[in-house]
């Protein structure tokens, strides 16, 4: 004689629904992690590591030593990406391999100026100070006309 197992729920659908709810709860608790873009990941790490001008300069030196040239560009909420200096940064990114990280802020970030100054010096060393200045000036003239 076979003993029929007693079911907690009367219908199979309730078992499936219960299992699904448990899986979703477990994934939510243990498996779901936010995903970040490369820029967001870099900025999270930058904010953790940079607390002064000296630490910004140190981070820049480490990145340059690994062959990375990156600039952090602080833009406002209403920045026009089709005007200067945004098109200059786009040109640096496209033609010169500079990684541009755009930060929408109106308050600034600690250490960014020192970090960018050190990166700018590396760019000038690699491409020449006059070359970058002439590039910027030619793009400025193309956008706004000759300076008066």
- For residue 73, what are the β-bridge partners? 102
pLDDT in tens, 84-120: 888 899 899 999 999 999 888 777 889 999 999 999 9
pLDDT in tens, 24-36: 887 777 766 677 8
Residue 19 CA to residue 38 CA, distance in Å, equals 36
Q: Which helix (H) or strand (E) element contains residue 137? A: helix 129-144
Q: What percent of the chain has pLDDT over 90?
A: 40
Q: What percent of the chain has pLDDT over 70?
A: 86
The pair of three-digit structure tokens given for residue 96, joined into one six-digit string? 């010169």
């Amino acid at each position: 004689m076979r003993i029929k197992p007693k079911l907690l729920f009367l219908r199979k659908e309730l078992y499936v629904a219960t299992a699904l709810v448990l899986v979703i709860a477990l994934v939510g608790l243990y498996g779901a992690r936010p995903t970040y873009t490369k820029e967001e990941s870099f900025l999270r790490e930058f904010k953790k590591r940079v607390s002064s001008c000296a630490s910004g300069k140190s981070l820049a030196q480490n990145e340059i030593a690994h062959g990375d040239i990156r600039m952090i560009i602080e833009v406002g909420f209403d920045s026009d990406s089709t005007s200067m200096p945004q098109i200059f940064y786009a040109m640096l990114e496209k033609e010169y391999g500079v990684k541009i990280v755009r930060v929408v802020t109106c308050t600034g970030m600690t250490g960014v100026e020192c970090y960018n100054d050190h990166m700018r010096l590396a760019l000038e060393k690699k491409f020449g100070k006059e070359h970058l200045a002439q590039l910027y000036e030619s793009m400025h003239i193309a956008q706004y006309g000759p300076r008066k």
